[in-house]
Amino acid sequence: MSVLSSFWNGFLERLSIDKKYPVLLSVLKQVKPLELTDKSITVGCERQGIGSYLEKHRPQIEQELYKHLKKHLVIKFTIVETQKKPSETPLLSFAPSTEDRLIKSGLHHKYSFDNFAVSSTNQVAYAAAQAVAKNPGTAYNPLFFYGGVGVGKTHLAQAVARAVLEVDDAKRVYFCPGDNFTNELVESIRDKSQPRFRQKYRRLNLLIVDDIQFIAGKAHMQEEFFHTFNSIVSSGGQVILTSDRPPSDIKNLEDRLRSRFLGGLIVDVQPPDFDLRTAILLIKAKEKSIEIDIEAAKIIAEQITDSRGLEGTLLSIYALILGKKDRIDLEAVEFYFSQKTKTKEKKISPNDVVKAVCSFYGVKQSYLKGAVRTDAIALPRQVAMYLLHRELHLKLTEVAEILKRKDHTTVIHANRKVENLIMKDSLFKQDIDRITSLLSQST
């Protein structure tokens, strides 16, 4: 077996053991590895749809590749008609790059101060983040950002971490979602590896916990985080926390932790105003090399108030003009929103929902309504249940009957799982938004 085949099979095996991305794994099994170099891997896709799906999940794939290889590899997708002879270029050793250090620290390369748009709604948060980046451990400790979804809390927190690493790449920095902290702790207890867990966290120079509210109500988790927090701060390290609410409003949070959180700087990050939404849209367009008129950007910013929804709308409009125009203009935007308004007036049937989900995930309708329980089928089935209940406002028993489930408890479980994934995984939320868009187009 060639180095390339051995590497790719090992990577797929690791993903199957983790069971973290069941649908993504099933798609990756359909591609062929073509070329491996010290910096990239190229895989061949038989259909454009597979390539487009994988392109949307590039960050997830590259992060998992890093975990598998401990080196950063850029993954490239190409459409192939026939099987190409794979290259047997050996893996070469090279010093970790800035990208490698970012991934190792749990950071995403797209978050930095350079591409963070500032206005009156977030200028205090931006100034505080910059102050901490320049003087970690001394400016504000902890720095606590709170606000709704998509206001830029994660972006700012990761921008601080990136700035710290750029000044001194020897700093021990780690970005950790709140649920990951609890999961790692549970695993360390199960594997009797708590000393290793504590060494990983308590020796950090900068710890960022995203959605810290997830540890509330969990006594052992709060106990461990309390000592982790004290250890980092007492040794001169910095702690940054984000939440959907201020410390005073987090229920079932221990008083000693609440006191620690309130002892730093608490910043309310407000939803973006019109000017900021316009700026965010222009930044996103520049990042994706999409030409857009300023007046067109303003119309989108007026209609879409959710900052995360701006990117989805931008891509949807770009897909409409692709091959027809070189840039998004006022006419294209007005056409998009007029079509969207007409779509809302049309009735969507349960069958439309099932078709849209099956089209997105590439599964047969018979599988969705059948007895198969593999991960590649279970998640699309749960998404279909969620959309039938949320978009069509069907009763739980009606949803169960449509998808031929035994009773409504299956639907309740599906709704909870999808809602949790939407909260925790921004890429999954984008997938749900795209399916909803497909659903609208189908009518």
Residues 398 and 361 in one domain: yes
Residue 13: the pLDDT is 77
Query: How many beta carbons lie within 10 A of that of residue 136, not counting itself?
Result: 26
Of 299, 315, 345, the residue at which a domain comes to its end is 345
Residue 407: the pLDDT is 80
Q: Is residue 101 part of a domain?
A: no
Q: Is residue 51 part of a domain?
A: yes
Residues 6+ apart with CB under 8 A from 128: 139, 140, 143, 265, 267
Instruction: Give the ranges where 235-361 is alpha helix by DSSP (H).
Output: 255-262, 274-287, 294-303, 307-321, 330-345, 350-361
Count how many domains the chain has. Answer: 4
Residue 85: the pLDDT is 44
Of 312, 328, 345, the residue at which a domain comes to its end is 345
Residues 282 and 395 in one domain: no
Of 94, 112, 143, the residue at which a domain comes to its end is 94
Residues 214 and 262 in one domain: yes
Residue 231: the pLDDT is 95
Give the side-chain half-sphere CA count within 13 A for 400: 12
Q: Is residue 111 part of a domain?
A: no
Q: Is residue 40 part of a domain?
A: yes
Q: Are 246 and 146 in contact (CB under 8 A)?
A: yes
Residue 88: the pLDDT is 47
pTM reported for the whole predicted model: 0.57
Residues 21 and 130 in one domain: no
Residues 191 and 256 in one domain: yes
DSSP letter for each residue of 110-126: T--STT----TTTHHHH
Tokens linked to 275: 């000017």
Residues 6+ apart with CB under 8 A from 149: 244, 306, 308, 423
Q: Are 134 and 122 in contact (CB under 8 A)?
A: no
| 422 φ, ψ (degrees, to nearest 5) | -60, -40
Q: Are strands 206-210 and 238-243 parallel, antiparallel or unpaired?
A: parallel
Q: Is residue 104 part of a domain?
A: no
Residue 344: the pLDDT is 55
Q: Is residue 194 part of a domain?
A: yes
Residue 297: the pLDDT is 93
Q: What is the CATH number of the domain that holds 301?
A: 1.10.8.60
Tokens linked to 353: 């929902």
Extended beta strands in 31-153, E state: 32-36, 40-45, 74-79, 143-146
Q: Is residue 82 part of a domain?
A: yes
Residue 443: the pLDDT is 52
Taking each helix axis from N to C end, the angle separating 426-442 and 375-391, rounded to the nearest 10 degrees, works out to 60
Residue 257: the pLDDT is 95
Residue 435: the pLDDT is 86
Q: What is the CATH number of the domain that holds 411?
A: 1.10.1750.10
Q: Is residue 159 part of a domain?
A: yes
Consecutive 10-residue averages of pLDDT for the chain (443 residues): 71 76 81 85 84 85 82 85 48 60 85 89 94 92 90 93 92 89 87 90 94 89 94 95 92 93 94 90 88 92 82 85 86 85 66 88 85 85 90 86 86 87 82 79 55
Longest Cα–Cα distance in the chain: 64
Residue 94: the pLDDT is 52
Q: Which of 155, 355, 374, 185 is nearest to 272 (CA)?
A: 155
Element (H, E) at 167: helix 153-167
Residues 292 and 416 in one domain: no
278 is in which domain, residue-wise? 274-345
Residues 336 and 235 in one domain: no
Q: Give the separation between CA 431 and CA 443, rounded to whole angstroms.
A: 19
Residues 211 and 160 in one domain: yes
